[in-house]
Structure 1
Amino acid sequence: MHHAGRALIDPFKILEKIKLQEGMRVADMGCGRTGHFVFPAARIVGPRGMVYAVDILKDVLENINSWVRSQSHDNIQTIWSDIEMVDKTPIPAKSLDACFFMNVLSALKNRNGALSEAARLLKDDGSVVVIDWQKKLATLGPSDEAMLSPLKLTELAKESGLRLIESYPVSEYHYCSIFKKS
């Protein structure tokens, strides 16, 4: 089940773009039921790395945990946390090589809080990867009011101490923006 949605966005291409390697530590912030980046990242970082699947919904984390058990992954840890609250995610500061937000930021009220929390968790050379909806179809994605344009995202990221490295369409309906610490 965690493979659902890969037809739209291939996580391995994005992980390759940010040069994810064995032994690295990453977090899928607001990982959701499918953990879009969780399982692909776990394959790449291997047994010496760690993938944190972070979400506020306990049933989502239970779903991820059941997959972890069935696949015998020792390098995935689920974390129950509100990613919009700075200093609340129980991951050491400056310990992550990458943080991922997949279709999450457009759904949050405190986007600055989530981006600031990611910046806090990142190593100095780490990456924040945001994938969100492009305004294409009225029936797909969030409402127009909730839509987060790449330009608005870049402004919010700058306020959170992040600078844009690259932004590009990653599918017909999504864009990907990659940030580093300023």
Structure 2
Amino acid sequence: MTGKKFDPKKLRKLNDPQRLLDIPPDHVCGKLSQQNPDVLIEIGTGTAFFSLAFHQQLKASITYACDLSDTMIHWIEENITPNYPYITPVKSEESSVPLSDGIADLVFMINLHHELEDQSLVMQEALRLLKPEGEVFIIDWKKENMPQGPPVEIRCFPEQVELQLEKAGFVDIRSFDEMSKHFLVIGKKQ
């Protein structure tokens, strides 16, 4: 594990309501072609802050909140699942989620891409988890200097994410940059 990973000791920072203003779920959902996804998977969920927000926005049946950090998984089990039993924490590895092939309508990753050791493997894993016609969306920090977020040198351009999705087998890849701090890339499984 490298210094690119989020420090679980700072997990309270992940629950800042400002994050919903920076990454508004209604804006993101308006860009998806999947308007009624039933099963969601968030890879790199942290405290499941966005898992819960997107679950409620999309009125899904179940959301699998996947993370490799035991600290995050335990935090979700203690603080989220008791009140929101449809948010299911899943201990995973970076590019391996212990869920069945083709179970999700929507897979998403928020502010994770820049941390990944092998981004291509994670794109392939997202494809495996999706049903045909399912979608993936990736939101990450724009590669610009700003007071928040990771160092600019470890951030990536949306074009890099688009190419990785294409190589993994996704189609109908689209990018959006209307958010002030983040870009959004969406791809569909054939």
Query: Per the shorter chain, which TM-score range?
Result: 0.7 to 0.9
More helix by share: 2
Is 2:87 aligned against 1:76? yes
User: TM-score scaled by structure 1?
Assistant: 0.85
Counterpart Cα distance in 2 of 1:78 and 1:69: 8
1:82/1:89 contact within 8 Å kept: yes
1:31/1:101 contact within 8 Å kept: yes
Counterpart Cα distance in 1 of 2:176 and 2:108: 16
Q: For structure 1, which segment, 107-116 or 161-170, has the greater mean C-alpha deviation from structure 2 after superposition?
A: 161-170
Is 2:69 aligned against 1:57? yes
Counterpart of 2:55, as a letter, is A
1:60-103 Cα deviation digits (max 9, x unpaired): 112222232452x221110000132xxx3121101100111101
Residue identity (%): 23
Q: Which runs of 5+ in 1 are unaligned?
A: none
1:164/1:177 contact within 8 Å kept: no
| Structure 1 residues 37 and 164: alpha-carbon distance in aligned structure 2, compared to 1, 3 A threshold | farther
1:25/1:97 contact within 8 Å kept: yes
Is 2:36 aligned against 1:21? yes
2:81/2:87 contact within 8 Å kept: no
Report the counterpart of residue 123 of structure 1 in structure 2. Answer: 131
- Out of 52, 55, 61, the position equivalent to 1:39 is 52
| Deviation of the 1:146 alpha carbon | 1.7
Counterpart Cα distance in 2 of 1:122 and 1:51: 13
Alignment of 1:76-95 (within 5 A): 76-84=87-95, 88-95=96-103
Q: For structure 1, which segment, 117-126 or 160-169, has the greater mean C-alpha deviation from structure 2 after superposition?
A: 160-169
User: TM-score scaled by structure 2?
Assistant: 0.82
Aligned with 2:136: secondary structure? strand
Counterpart of 1:101, as a letter, is M
| Structure 1 residues 104 and 146: alpha-carbon distance in aligned structure 2, compared to 1, 3 A threshold | same
1:99/1:128 contact within 8 Å kept: yes
Counterpart of 2:21, as a letter, is A
Report the counterpart of residue 132 of structure 1 in structure 2. Answer: 140
